[in-house]
Every structure is written in C-alpha cells, then in structure tokens.
Amino acid sequence: PRDMNKNAEAQVYNRGNWALHDVNLTITEGMVGLLGPNGAGKSTLMRILSTLSTPTSGEAFINDVPLHKAEDIRRMIGYLPQQFQVYPQLTGAEFLDYVAAMKGISDKRHRKAEIDKLLEQLNLQDKGHKKIRTYSGGMKRRLGIAQALVGSPQVLIVDEPTAGLDPEERVRFRNLLTRFSLGRVVLLSTHIVADIESNCRQIAVLDQGRVRMSGELADLQALG
C-alpha cells in the first residue's frame, strides 16, 4: 500500500544534460537504498520525489496518486536535504514548531505534542530548548531527521545523511533510520555500499541518470 512509483522519469537541466533518463522504479515499505556515485542523479530524483523539482517529463506517484494530485503532500513526504540548513539562533523546539506550521499543522497544542514526541524519539529532549548553535554535529543530524518526521510522513527521503561520518557513526545513524522505517518508506541515498548492505531490503543503483539495477537486495546478492 505505501509505495511510490516513478514511471519513465526524466530530468533535463539546461543545455540538454540529462540528469535522469528512463527512470522507472517502484519502491515499497521499508528501508530502500539509492546507491550511486557523485553526479549519478540521486539528489535530482529525491528532489522530484519531494516535489521540490518538477520532472521535465514523466510522473511520480504515491499510492497510485500522482504526486501533484496527492492531498497534503507536505505531510506525506518528509525530506532531509543533503545541505540541511539549520537556524542557529533558534532552539530545536522553535525550529520544529516552525516546520510544523509550514506543514500546515495549525493547532498549537497539536504542534507541541508532536514536537515533544519527536524530541524524545531522537534523544534531543534535554536539548530541545537550547539554541541550535550549541548542538553537536550528531544532534544537528538528529534534528534534521526530526524535522523530516514532523507530520508522520509515510515516506521519509534522506539525501546522503551519512556523508562525513566515521564508520561507527554511520552504523549508529543507519540503525536510527531503520527504527523509523517501520510502516513507512525510507529512501536513503549514499555512495557507500556498506550503508545499504546492512540495513536496506530494497535497493536501486543509479549511474549517469539511469537505473542500472533495482530490486530486493537478497535477490541481487544471489546474482552476485
């Protein structure tokens, strides 16, 4: 039921460079890895799925509904961009409140309950009322996940969240994402094979804008 489907997706940036070409992917519940080298088109695909970019041709669907027709898409899809901008002068809770308001959660008490829950789930409850500028790198990363989870989206899209982490931190962060993949799609992009091997059930390999391989990780491993 919770799946996203992309059909014959393409994205052409200026001067006719195809960032994506013939991308046709169906992804279903659980952790899904999007693997590919720099420039493969991962961010472009994720921006399209987050409705921040409109494809030059083709269409993306969520639960068989075209993204542009889906109701309340802001709350259905949570997105953590690669360059996540934090507002150092705000507290974590203030920032999340702003995000919740942007996502259309108009009731103040409803927002507060949601934010308290997220701060706790991401182990930020002690820091929620401190300014973001006092946060460590790991805390900012967890706040990034928290802002993407505002509104309990069915789909969580995270663009290279493990970049710059050491191997141990990467494992911890992947495990954190896995916790949030229960009952939803988590699409994780990376150029590191280990990131997908241990935590993703389904993967897609993107290279030069094309899907080179996709499917259940176990089936692909069986092929060698």
Q: Does 123 bind ligand ADP (CB under 6 A)?
A: yes
Q: Contact letters (x/-) for ligand ADP, 44-63, by CB under 6 A?
A: x-------------------
Task: Sort strands 185-190 and 30-35 into parallel, antiparallel or unpaired.
Answer: parallel
Q: Does 32 bind ligand ADP (CB under 6 A)?
A: no
Total chain residues near ligand ADP (CB under 6 A): 21
Output the smallest distance, CB 108 to ligand ADP, in A. Answer: 26
Q: Does 156 bind ligand ADP (CB under 6 A)?
A: no
> Of the two residues 70 and 171, which places its CB atom closer to ligand ADP in the complex?
171
CB atoms within 10 A of CB 120: 12
DSSP result, the chain: ---EEEEEEEEE-GGG-EEEEEEEEEE-SEEEEEE--TTSSHHHHHHHHTTSS--SEEEEEETTEEGGGSTTHHHHEEEE-SS----TTSBHHHHHHHHHHHTT---HHHHHHHHHHHHHHTT-TTTTTSBGGG--HHHHHHHHHHHHHTT--SEEEEESTTTT--HHHHHHHHHHHHHTTTTSEEEEEES-HHHHHTT-SEEEEEETTEEEEEEEHHHHHHH-
Output the smallest distance, CB 104 to ligand ADP, in A. Answer: 27
Of all residues in the shown chain, the one whose CB is closest to ligand ADP is 138
Q: Does 136 bind ligand ADP (CB under 6 A)?
A: yes
Output the smallest distance, CB 42 to ligand ADP, in A. Answer: 3
Q: Does 138 bind ligand ADP (CB under 6 A)?
A: yes
Instruction: Return the residue of 3, 59, 94, 169 that touches ligand ADP, per CB under 6 A.
Output: 169
Instruction: Return the residue of 4, 139, 148, 157 that touches ligand ADP, per CB under 6 A.
Output: 139
Q: Does 39 bind ligand ADP (CB under 6 A)?
A: yes
Q: Does 207 bind ligand ADP (CB under 6 A)?
A: no
